[in-house]
Structure 1
Amino acid sequence: MHRLYPNYSFLLRLFMPGLLLLFAINGFAQVKPVIKPDTTIVTDTTRFEDRVMRNLKELSERKTIMGKLLSSILDFTPENEAALNLDAELIEREYEKHNYKVVRTIRVIPLDAFGYSIQDTARVPANWIEKTGNFFHAKTKKSLIRNKLLFEQNETLEPLALVESERLLRQTDYILDARIIVNEQTTSEDSLDVIVITKDVFSLGGSGSFTPSSGAGRLTVRELNFLGLGHQPEVTYRFNQNRPRPWEFAGRYSIENIGRSYITADMAYVNENYYQEKSAFLRRDFYATNTRYAGAAGVSQVEERILLPPTDADTIPRFGNLSYTRRDAWFGRAFKFKTYNLGYEPRGRMIIGLRVIDTNYKTIPTDNFQSNQLYLGSVGYSVRKYYKDRYLFGFGRTEDIPAGSIVSVTTGYENATLTNRRYLGASFAFARYRPTFGYLYGNVTYGSFVNDGSWQQGLLQFQSLYFTRLYENGNWKLRHYIQGRATFGLNRNPEDLLSINNNDGLRGFNSTLLRGSKRLTLNYEANLYTPFSFLGFKLATVAFADVAWLSFGNKTSPFKNKPYTGYGLGFRFRNEYLSFSTIQILFSFYPRLPANEDISSFKVYEASRPYYDFTDFRFERPGVAEFK
């Protein structure tokens, strides 16, 4: 499939998102899903757009100022893309003939962020914008890429090493895409040569905001790959705040994959008006299917202000101060089952994890907070594999879709200042993906403390996510997303409260007083990916509808209350070559609002955090089911 040509006709359509969505839904009704990539050149579907593109291309070839400007910002060269909908097991079968061969050489080819192609390594930057961007970008060091690989030179190639290494590179924040190729021309019966090609994103990024009426603002600067070494500093500064002081600061620093150990160091210092944190952690996840050991250790100091249970008469929120020091450590070990199929690596793993958390409270708002030591142990079984597709959460880049299942059982013991109690929990999740069906994910989690036969601080949670197959009509692409979530608190403390704000329920919604102990939300979204692009920023239009039920009290059903709803349209912009988050401008409407709060029914807001995301099937650290 070829990259869609940039088109200036979006300047007219940019202001008509509703018409775009109606056109898409109308045109996609009878369209078949895309299963195999099209190797022919994709052209625009209307004669008007063809004429515009031809005229722009002719203008860009002239020796005039306008021609040079157009040739600098628009790219008329189609780019071949890799195949879509690739099953990880099929990829593994392609490589299994190379299992247990000796790796003679590993050639690493890192590409800069602009002007290069991972499918065509002969392509080079063609204009001053691409060359200038690369001048200010530090290309990833070859040694850093080698540290990500699960195979080494002069060592035997294990099953899954090639496909898992490619996925790990692609999921790295500062790498846009990666390909690992076996040089078939030099491969022999007992040895082979490997070529690793990666393409960077422009790692320096940031964001900011400013309110002219008050002079308040925010500035964030982040670097995903400092000097090409994989270090990730981020600094946020807020100024001219109202109270209690005019400034806030937050700084974070991560060092990924220290040496070749896959150990990451995370440090944070946050000094905000109502939240202060100092923390340092070392962690190693079950990053690959065949990872045997994982764990983490660290310490954190937190001072924060938490919302207290509201009453019907409250017109302003009530808060309490909370401060504590927490030391946290865990260790996990994965075991694989024997296989008699030489060269085939079974994907199932049994995992055992142990964790100790020591929490020492210094300031508490109520007596429900007790200093304690919590000891947890988990046993789980995980099966995971990955597919590759596009236009899921990105705008054309290759994305890895996790599929499989995981089941885990957790037990523990809490030794607290006043009372001791046991903990029991269990979780099950699964996901399936088919190009003709789409993606379906489901999860159920339960956990509760037990004290003298009384079940306390319980939680029952359900979650599901479905997105449809990808539909195409010419250069337009459409996908639907449906998400359902239910969280039921069982004998929770009064301070444990749920909201329906933003990503917790209704996107763009923000209420301080509206809280509960049981919540049910349904979210629908339609993403229409357009063929319009400018300076590498691609455009998609969004339509969404959200519904949320909320209730307070252990015996009250959320369905007895009238639901809150939100509806909206918007635009989404993203340049896959930059580290900037996706830019979303949404127009939303909320028919029902809380009676005791002054909130507008209409809202225009910008959001960068994606509303949906994948849940991987790697085993996480043992923990108490999170109530949020």
Structure 2
Amino acid sequence: MSKIFRIIVICCIVLLSFLNLLSADQKWDEFILELRAGDILHVGDSCWIVPQDTTYIITDSIHFFVQKDCTNTTEFYKTVKGEADKSDFTKRLFDLAFKKGTGNKDPLYQLEKSELQFYPYKNKIIRNIYIVSIPIFQSNTDKDIKIIQWAKKTADKLHIDTRKWVIKNILLFKEGELLDPTLIAENERMLYELPFINEVYFKICPCYNEPDYVDVVVLTKDKFPVGANPGISSLDSYHLEIYDLNIAGLGHEVSAKVAYDGGEKEKFSLQNALYKVYHIGNTFTTGELFYSNPEHEERYGFLFNRNFIPSKINIAGGLGLERVNTSYTHSPDDSTLTENPLEYVRADVYVGVAELLKMFSPLRVEYLVELVRVTHYDYYKYPLIGSLFDDRSEVLLSLNHQRSKYYKSNLIYGFGEIEYIPYGHLIEFIGGVEYPVLYDKRYYAGIRFSQGNFIFERALYYYLQLGLGSYFEKLLLGNFDEGVFSLNALFFTKHYKIGNYGLRNFIEFDYMKGLNQPVYRYIDLDNMQDIRGFDDTKERGQQRLVINFESVAYTPWDLIGFRFAMFGFFDIGFIGKANSNIFKDKSYMGFGAGVRMRNENL
């Protein structure tokens, strides 16, 4: 192990200890809440109606949340009310669920732990569950010109809302069960992550004649599912993607991307095709058929996957099969690059079990996850390069401990919709065996750690990932054989208000280093993905460092539902040999600025 690598590992341990110390819950003594008139502050089992705009300081050692208008917008409130007024039953349900606030619209969502708003109703019995769909474009405003009003009304009439039974199949709770705040918050996040859902709100309504019971109202607003994404690479090269994210409201997605390149022999090509079903039935299993062929790398196959859901689904698994037709470029004499055809089939199956742990802290939700994975490779066309393309099977066992929850906020990567920010940690130990057909078997061992949280009184968020893994010739370890060390760190600041504008700063570090890698294995810069605006490097090495800086200004501009954000960025990447000083190796830079626009209803 080189001296530089030892220094990097020691620095990572010191950094991790420092961040863990800063993000410890007991160190957050005070939290400043900006409250508006009409907000309801829940602290423990008590609540306080805010009479006027004010600032309130509260300690973070107790449960609290701020109850606002369900959507933070008067327009959404009016739309729900308009829909509810269509029948006496829904009108009574609306009056029970909503109390209209008097505050002004605040585009910044108050940072809060996602489960806290449901704590006042913990262990209440769920009497009824209601699912209500809201029109995509909501009500028209007087500011809209007639053609825009007509377009919105027409789009709402053409759109088929997500079927209520589709939403019901994704719910993690049933009528008659006790309300679990953590489970409700997780369920709300699951629905938010669906690509055809724009907004989700779980409203808990106390039953005043039955104090031990509550009704749960699930409010959902779809995105307009049908669309097209055109793109131009040059005057003689362009593409078009068409998609339907929610076919007939069934939760099925279909998309296709066609490209034209005047410089190629076959001018038209299918670059991507996808058919995907989210949460098949009530199994919480997602399945997809896919095809992709970007830049002469053809892939097609299928994938079925079921994830763990804390406190509800403790058995997860997956099954996948894909065929890959591509090419492999290598340098046999360290100077000339040669390209060889590469075709193979990859099969993958895994299953795991999650067990709830309460022995260390009964108040924290922690899990121990055991997982086994079997992967098999069959190569049909390949260059003869050592054991790299030998048919083989891998059997991996992993054991991980995880404790993670989410904060709710917005104006981070989106333009106003609620976003979920993970906090907590995961540590995973991996071990296994590789069985090649022609060569001797090898053993594998690895460790992976990730942690995220806010520090400096929530002025800065960090997410850190560390990974170290390698093959070994002997069971009791030994020297690294094709090992990899990786470090990724993401930071972003809190939302700063400057007049009607908002500002956040982002920085990301991505480091990777090969450990005792053969000469035919290398790391490269992923061109436009790593260094934005730079796509002309063929440099390869055994270690790589990429640093990305970005500042984003969120504007108040709104054009027929499209929101705008200005941004500027600076990227720099280093790549070189395994034992060199990475900062003295070859570097590549990119910088620029631009404007992003997005309509989150589409």
User: What are the Cα deviations for residues 461-492 of structure 1, in whole angstroms up to 9, with x where unaligned?
Assistant: 11111101110022110000011111011122
1:366 to 373, 377, 384: 384
Unaligned runs of 5+ in 2: 1-30, 39-72, 78-103, 141-146
Q: How far off is 1:35 after superposition?
A: 5.0
1:565 to 569, 586, 589: 589
1:46 matched residue in structure 2: none
User: 1:101 and 2:121 equivalent?
Assistant: no
User: What are the Cα deviations for residues 258-280 of structure 1, in whole angstroms up to 9, with x where unaligned?
Assistant: 11111001111335672222211
2:534 matched residue in structure 1: 509
**CA distance in 2: counterparts of 1:484 and 1:259, whole angstroms:** 41
Amino acid aligned to 2:593? L
Aligned residues of 2:207 and 2:213 also touching (Cα < 8 A) = no
C-alpha change, 1:127 and 1:246, in structure 2 (3 Å) is closer
User: What are the Cα deviations for residues 189-216 of structure 1, in whole angstroms up to 9, with x where unaligned?
Assistant: 43221111011111112212346743x3
Q: How far off is 1:311 after superposition?
A: 7.0
Matched residue SS, 2:259: strand
User: 1:163 and 2:181 equivalent?
Assistant: no
Q: How far off is 1:224 after superposition?
A: 1.2
2:284 matched residue in structure 1: 262
Matches within 5 A, 1:9-158: 36=34, 38=36, 92-115=115-138, 127-158=149-180
**CA distance in 2: counterparts of 1:328 and 1:369, whole angstroms:** 17
User: What are the Cα deviations for residues 362-396 of structure 1, in whole angstroms up to 9, with x where unaligned?
Assistant: 11123321111100000000011111111100011
C-alpha change, 1:500 and 1:277, in structure 2 (3 Å) is closer
Q: How far off is 1:493 after superposition?
A: 3.5
2:374 matched residue in structure 1: 356
Q: Report percent identity of matched pairs.
A: 27
Q: Which has the higher strand share?
A: 2
Q: How far off is 1:154 after superposition?
A: 3.2
Amino acid aligned to 2:390? Q
C-alpha change, 1:577 and 1:155, in structure 2 (3 Å) is same
Aligned residues of 1:485 and 1:520 also touching (Cα < 8 A) = yes
Matched residue SS, 1:513: coil
Matched residue SS, 1:544: strand
Structural RMSD (CA): 3.0
1:219 matched residue in structure 2: 240
Larger relative contact order, structure 1 or 2 (CA cutoff 8 Å, min sep 6): 1
Q: How far off is 1:287 after superposition?
A: 4.0
C-alpha change, 1:438 and 1:187, in structure 2 (3 Å) is farther
C-alpha change, 1:86 and 1:295, in structure 2 (3 Å) is farther
Amino acid aligned to 2:534? F
Matches within 5 A, 1:442-461: 442-452=464-474, 453-461=478-486
Amino acid aligned to 1:324? Y
C-alpha change, 1:178 and 1:441, in structure 2 (3 Å) is same
C-alpha change, 1:126 and 1:551, in structure 2 (3 Å) is closer
Q: How far off is 1:240 after superposition?
A: 4.0
C-alpha change, 1:547 and 1:389, in structure 2 (3 Å) is same
**CA distance in 2: counterparts of 1:419 and 1:339, whole angstroms:** 43
Q: How far off is 1:539 after superposition?
A: 1.2
1:324 to 344, 354, 378: 344
2:95 matched residue in structure 1: none
**CA distance in 1: counterparts of 2:363 and 2:224, whole angstroms:** 36
Between Structure 1 and Structure 2, how many residues are aligned? 499
Matched residue SS, 1:143: helix
User: What are the Cα deviations for residues 491-534 of structure 1, in whole angstroms up to 9, with x where unaligned?
Assistant: 22434333334454211211252222210111111001111111
1:239 to 257, 260, 267: 260
User: What are the Cα deviations for residues 38-88 of structure 1, in whole angstroms up to 9, with x where unaligned?
Assistant: 569xxxxxxxxxxxxxxxxxxxxxxxxxxxxxxxxxx99798668966666
Matched residue SS, 1:411: strand
1:398 to 418, 432, 436: 418
**CA distance in 2: counterparts of 1:198 and 1:492, whole angstroms:** 51
Aligned residues of 2:404 and 2:422 also touching (Cα < 8 A) = yes
1:48 matched residue in structure 2: none
1:175 matched residue in structure 2: 197
C-alpha change, 1:532 and 1:464, in structure 2 (3 Å) is same
TM-score (norm 2): 0.77
Aligned residues of 2:75 and 2:138 also touching (Cα < 8 A) = no
**CA distance in 2: counterparts of 1:161 and 1:471, whole angstroms:** 32
Unaligned runs of 5+ in 1: 1-32, 41-74, 118-124, 579-628
User: 1:284 and 2:306 equivalent?
Assistant: yes
User: What are the Cα deviations for residues 577-611 of structure 1, in whole angstroms up to 9, with x where unaligned?
Assistant: 11xxxxxxxxxxxxxxxxxxxxxxxxxxxxxxxxx
Matched residue SS, 2:34: coil
Aligned residues of 1:501 and 1:511 also touching (Cα < 8 A) = no
User: 1:575 and 2:573 equivalent?
Assistant: no
C-alpha change, 1:78 and 1:85, in structure 2 (3 Å) is closer
